[in-house]
Structure 1
Amino acid sequence: MSIDLSAAVSTFVSESKELLQDMEDGLLELETSLIDEQKSEVINSIFRAIHTIKGSAGIFGFTRIVDLTHLVETTLDEIRLGTITLDNRLISALLSSRDVIETLVVLSAQESEVDSHTKNKAKDLAAIFNDYLDDPHSHAMPSEIQPTTQAPHNSANNTLWHIFFIPNENVYRNGLDPFAFINFLSQEVIDLHVNTYTKTLNTTDMFDPESNYLSFHLCFASNKSESEIADIFDFIKTEAIIKVLPPKAHFPDLKAACYEFGDVADILNMLRNTNSIDDPVLKAIADNKDYIQDPEPTQSTAGSSPITHTKLHQSKTLRVEALKLDRLIDQVGEMVITGARTNLLAHETGNETLIEAMALLERLVENIRDSSLKLRMVQIGETFNKFKRVVRDISQELGKEVELTIEGADTELDKTFVEKVSDPLMHIIRNAIDHGIEPPHVRLANNKSVPGHLKLKAYHDSGSIVIEISDDGCGLDKAKILKRATEKGLISAEQSLPDKEINLLIFAPGFTTAENITNISGRGVGMDVVKRNIESLRGSVEVESEPGVGSTILIRLPLTLSIIDGFMFSVHNDNYVIPLDTVVECLELHEVVAEQDIQDKSYINLRTEVLPFIRLRALFGIEERIAHTRESLVIVQFGTLRAGLVVDSLKGEFQTVVKPLGRLFEGLKCISGATILGSGDVAIILDVSALIKSAIAVYETLEFKQ
């Protein structure tokens, strides 16, 4: 019978990537000024991550991964014991090994051949690690420093480890083989004894060849820590009950493990035969009584509680395929549309009881919508943390010193944004280090600190997610930007632009101020990609810069792409929707200003504030006017910009399921999507950012002419 391991391998890949990211974060922390206790803790966590990957790879027979991780694990173990001094060269080698291991994980999962570059890189890393392991000068263990664990004395009672390993019935169906874990354990410990127990079957008809009926008791000696032993079973912990009992484990833990196993009599006889547990202890377990242990000094592991890995109690997160989540959101969206339709029909009947029931159902649908959308929300901190490595590597390549600061890491945004915003952030950060932050000698000459400062910040503002990337570098050279833009024909030599528009020229296709092409920048393609990707997410980009002080790039994104709270109005009997979060207030136009005062103007004086506005009827090319309509002014805001929209009538709040427009409508200005109303009609979703910019552009043009 062949077992399909594809699901298990897929899980191995995703978990390995998470562990490798933890390893990278830990290594970058070690380069900072941590105290010795913190460094020891970080090194231990890196060691556990590599140890887990090695064990899981061994189960699947991925020998290349096992070979490299074993060498990394040995090096980290020597660092833990103090026999190898951790320096910058070794940290760089460990970071490079993290990249190679990730490549090997992906290639092994795909059953692809390892390319020559990866093989050579692995050989080079092996040489570096062996150089540290073989170098007598790197082994500087003082006489007072001794390993923290010692090999147990097998002749004494209570010095053996015990593991109660009870795989669940479906473990084979889920692509996992318990014997592979036991086999790997045998390579890591001393003198392993395996006792196998079979679940009692009443009749042969109950036997299923794909089900598991075996439980195991494992007994062995080892000088490893309890966490290292438990990590061997980390990959199967959700598919089994696992109790790890170190030497001289507490009586309640041992008793609970025996009774959880099932056949207590068999377990006690086996424990008696191994001569690893005292008779009074075994008698107390058999009689189901308490046993008071004499106080005595024990190893640090003996006093710890057993590690119980059960699917019910241990798992705090549930891994779900992104496609399943997207389907759920789509179905919730359809439910919102159907609910709106049903609510409309209920009001047409005039049945008060039905209307009240529909109002309750509508609230429940809204709660389900909000809960479903929260499932897609992830913290941006994980994305931000990935750039620590980028900043380190680029700054070292350019011979610069750069310190990265992260703020608002707990800010949540849609997972779709997290996936698509990573590349734009990468381009911006690379440009900030290359073009913005000066070399150390230039910074000293300008009375700046030698290390440059780069800050990533995320926060909520006016119904949007704002991501700021700021640096304290030299700022944008506006004269140079204008000269290069003129040379490329982007603007004419006589054209005069405000500072904001000059700054945005850096996003033009093919635009660059670099004199030479490097591995990092100079081809003029990166910032163009930034703007395209952000605008594809219905977002916007702003640039602020001050010469000699630094630059800040602000990326604004909507909270979600799927379902939003909308505000609906009509223009010439057609319905339009904008995000509710962008609406500041609504006013009757005739109450704000007289009709004759705004015939040829593009702005009004609203409470001493100049407010640009745009008539949507004129924007859409509608000349006919419906009689007896009282126009309304909807004041909207996006970021720091504010404008007014003149509409025919207001319809109010509306739960909006965003539907993408077809390819025929791609590139239409001021339109971002569509939605289906309860009546079955289609309403256009307007792009508030584009509308505000259009209103401001019209206002500035008219003012210039005047």
Structure 2
Amino acid sequence: MSVDLSAAITTFVNESKELLAEMENSLLDLESSEAGRDQEETINAIFRAIHTIKGSAGLFGFDYVVSLTHIAETVLDDVRGGNREMSKPLLSLYLETGDLCDELILLAASENEPSAQQLTQLAKLTEQFSAFTDSAEAPQNTEADSEAQPQDGTWFMCFVPNENVLRNGLDPYPFIHFLNNEVESLEIATNCTALNADTPYDPESCYLAFLMLFHTSQNKDVIEEVFEFIKNDAVVEILPPDQCHYDAITDCAKHFPEPAQFHATLAQLTQSRLPAQPLKPTSMPDEAEPPAQTKGKKKNKLHTSKTLRVEAMKLDRLIDQVGEMVITGARTNLLAHETGNETLIEAMALLERLVENIRDSSLKLRMVQIGETFNKFKRVVRDVADELGKEVELNIVGADTELDKTFVEKVSDPLMHIIRNAIDHGIEPPEQRLAAGKPACGQLTLRAYHDSGSIVIEIQDDGRGLDQSKILARAIENGLVNPDHSLQDKEINLLIFEPGFSTAAAVTSISGRGVGMDVVKRNVESLRGSVEVDSTKGLGSKIIIRLPLTLSIIDGFMFTVGAEDYVIPLDTVVECLELHEVVSESDIQDKNYINLRTEVLPFIRLRTLFGIEQQIEHTKESLVIVQFGTLRAGLVVDSLQGEFQTVVKPLGRLFEGLKCISGATILGSGKVAIILDVSALIRTAITMYESLELKH
């Protein structure tokens, strides 16, 4: 019968991606000397990743992947044994191997053949690795453990899959097929359980067992790793040459339901290959101890494994259902208050708290650490710096900062553009840095942290900084700025995000076409975020990206303007004041700012912004002071409604690009309330204030 391996292959593809990412990070750590004292363990981690991928690929018959990882593993084994150093050319070779492995695995999983270019690259890498193996010295093993040392001779193996192995999606044959590639002269005797009327045939059950003899110079650990993925669904007993005597072999009969079945199967093997004289291992009295220790370790490993892989689609569906539950809960709570039944109101208050806890727990399921995204840029920094002939060191701060997985996927490309531009335009070549009194190696820092309900990502370099005069001149030349208009430094800095803007003298493969930084701003703003630039000429630049923590469910603050309700994120609210208490009506006429505790605070009347003509008394208006990053402004509203659990709903394509509006939500009454973009509102208020100042 054929076994459907699609689920197992999908798991392998996902796990191999993780292993290749870990391998790349380990290689880059070795190159930058970040491995330090753990260099030996780092190399071992790289070896384990390659070996695991090779073993799994062999099970599925991914021959191209097996051939590449096999020779890469052989050379790395020399490095582990101290017979070869991990030089930069060799390290680069392993980075290229990881890239090609990723491509070959995806092709094999989708049942496609490699392209001619990929086959050429495979042959080139194999040839380069072969050059290392041809010049390698014979490894010297100093291990004292006889099982860890290679043992050249005849090995015996008993392989008994359990009855449910096929139901679990594992086919025993690929494991034997892969073992055949690792050893020599493999002989197999197959036992099939006898069927009778009491045990009717089940096509999903496994009735086979295997006894094998083979020749190899590998150690026992290597042979065991071939069966790593099936060891929990089978009995796997391996006897190396020093234990391969008749008594030890016949002891394997205990794994068969009937000893007679075992002896009949054993008789099928070539008896002459068994040693004539029984050989006792030196550790014979303690022979039973290692299996007990192994079992103990295995049990502990299973006990400490607390990670469960869940499809992102299932999490998204859960968040959507929790959002609908929040909306329904608000509606039910409103109806409970209308009845006036105190017992019902109290029960609904308890239910509302439980719903809030479920909401918070559900959102945390989709939070991931940003460090995984940051680590991907180590390779980008290395490759771009090498291409430009520069020395750049990447520093990562706040890798454990968590944010919504949706942001992780969408913020990767903007960060890529910023990093490439920082290396190309910001960080100087080594000779220029030395002439300016700086170290030859430039510093690029990625930093993440939480601040006022937002996640902040900073990309900072110690390069030449932005030349505001050059930027302004190019902006005027391109017609982006009126020559008569005066701009502050921070406004000039933001011109680098204008479409088509570039100060590069020549177009290169890295930058110069003015495409990329405008995409950064557009992508960040589509996530309801903002971008700021802080730069000092000669000292470096810092680009600050600010994003909300989540896009789905937020704690909101609701107020009324005219006959409609509006919501803003609660985290952006600093304080609320009665407008007439902080300023007189005569002082506020024809102004869009107030003096609040010696601070000039721009404000915006939402009635004016939304074109609501009906006026109310000034004494009824409220001032909501909001803050986003370092910017602060006031919103003048008609009345305050208080905190409100907000399920963010997109407005659809028809309303895309609406200024100062980021979404909508459904209230308990069934009405729709608009969610406002606080960042855009603050920028609008500041722009209006600055334009008014210029007129005066």
TM-score (norm 2): 0.88
Which whole-Å CA distance do the structure 2 matches of 1:154 and 1:142 have between them? 19
Kept in 1: contact 2:141–2:149 (CA 8 A): no
One-letter amino acid matched to 1:400: K
Aligned to 2:327: 337
Deviation at 1:152, TM superposition (A): 3.6
Residue 570 and residue 396 in structure 1: after superposition, are their counterparts in 2 closer, same or farther (change >3 A)? Answer: same
Aligned to 1:408: 398
Which whole-Å CA distance do the structure 2 matches of 1:671 and 1:201 have between them? 74
Aligned to 1:578: 568
Deviation at 1:192, TM superposition (A): 7.5
Deviation at 1:219, TM superposition (A): 8.6
Aligned to 1:286: none
Deviation at 1:705, TM superposition (A): 1.5
1:76-475 map, 5 Å:
76-135=76-135, 139=137, 149-152=148-151, 166=161, 169=164, 171-173=165-167, 175-189=169-183, 203-204=198-199, 207-212=201-206, 224=218, 228-236=222-230, 240=233, 308=298, 313=303, 315-475=305-465
Deviation at 1:77, TM superposition (A): 1.4
Which whole-Å CA distance do the structure 2 matches of 1:335 and 1:196 have between them? 57
Kept in 2: contact 1:241–1:309 (CA 8 A): no
One-letter amino acid matched to 1:570: T
1:554-573 map, 5 Å:
554-573=544-563
Q: Deviations over 1:429-483 (max 9, x none)?
A: 0000010000000000000001000000000011100000000000011111111
Residue 214 and residue 193 in structure 1: after superposition, are their counterparts in 2 closer, same or farther (change >3 A)? Answer: closer
Kept in 2: contact 1:240–1:309 (CA 8 A): no
Aligned to 1:596: 586
Q: Which secondary structure does the structure 1 equivalent of 2:601 belong to? A: strand
Kept in 2: contact 1:197–1:214 (CA 8 A): yes
Which whole-Å CA distance do the structure 1 matches of 2:368 and 2:424 have between them? 30
Residue 411 and residue 230 in structure 1: after superposition, are their counterparts in 2 closer, same or farther (change >3 A)? Answer: farther
Residue 615 and residue 177 in structure 1: after superposition, are their counterparts in 2 closer, same or farther (change >3 A)? Answer: same
Residue 293 and residue 66 in structure 1: after superposition, are their counterparts in 2 closer, same or farther (change >3 A)? Answer: closer
Aligned to 1:546: 536
Output the aligned Cα RMSD.
Answer: 3.7
Residue 46 and residue 705 in structure 1: after superposition, are their counterparts in 2 closer, same or farther (change >3 A)? Answer: same
Residue 70 and residue 601 in structure 1: after superposition, are their counterparts in 2 closer, same or farther (change >3 A)? Answer: same
Which whole-Å CA distance do the structure 2 matches of 1:701 and 1:199 have between them? 92
Which whole-Å CA distance do the structure 1 matches of 2:354 and 2:212 have between them? 51
Residue 622 and residue 226 in structure 1: after superposition, are their counterparts in 2 closer, same or farther (change >3 A)? Answer: farther
Residue 698 and residue 231 in structure 1: after superposition, are their counterparts in 2 closer, same or farther (change >3 A)? Answer: farther
Kept in 2: contact 1:567–1:652 (CA 8 A): yes
Q: Which secondary structure does the structure 2 equivalent of 1:568 belong to? A: strand
One-letter amino acid matched to 2:533: V
Kept in 1: contact 2:385–2:423 (CA 8 A): yes
Kept in 1: contact 2:579–2:619 (CA 8 A): no
Q: Which secondary structure does the structure 2 equivalent of 1:308 belong to? A: helix
Deviation at 1:185, TM superposition (A): 2.9
Q: Across the two proteins, how many residue pairs are aligned to each other?
A: 678
Residue 259 and residue 425 in structure 1: after superposition, are their counterparts in 2 closer, same or farther (change >3 A)? Answer: farther
| More divergent stretch after superposition (258-267 vs 58-67) | 258-267
Q: Which secondary structure does the structure 2 equivalent of 1:374 belong to? A: helix
TM-score (norm 1): 0.87
Aligned to 1:7: 7
Is the aligned partner of 1:70 residue 2:59?
no
Q: Deviations over 1:539-588 (max 9, x none)?
A: 11000100000000001010001111111111112110001111111111
Deviation at 1:610, TM superposition (A): 1.5
Deviation at 1:232, TM superposition (A): 2.9
Aligned to 1:702: 692
Q: Which secondary structure does the structure 2 equivalent of 1:490 belong to? A: coil
Aligned to 1:284: none
Is the aligned partner of 1:493 residue 2:493?
no
Deviation at 1:491, TM superposition (A): 0.8
| More divergent stretch after superposition (682-691 vs 646-655) | 646-655
Deviation at 1:188, TM superposition (A): 2.9
One-letter amino acid matched to 1:117: Q
| More divergent stretch after superposition (540-549 vs 482-491) | 482-491
| More divergent stretch after superposition (320-329 vs 443-452) | 320-329
Q: Percent identity?
A: 64
Deviation at 1:505, TM superposition (A): 0.6
Q: Which secondary structure does the structure 2 equivalent of 1:19 belong to? A: helix
One-letter amino acid matched to 1:504: L
Aligned to 1:288: none
Deviation at 1:217, TM superposition (A): 8.2
Residue 61 and residue 480 in structure 1: after superposition, are their counterparts in 2 closer, same or farther (change >3 A)? Answer: same
Q: Deviations over 1:580-618 (max 9, x none)?
A: 111111111122222222122111121222111111111
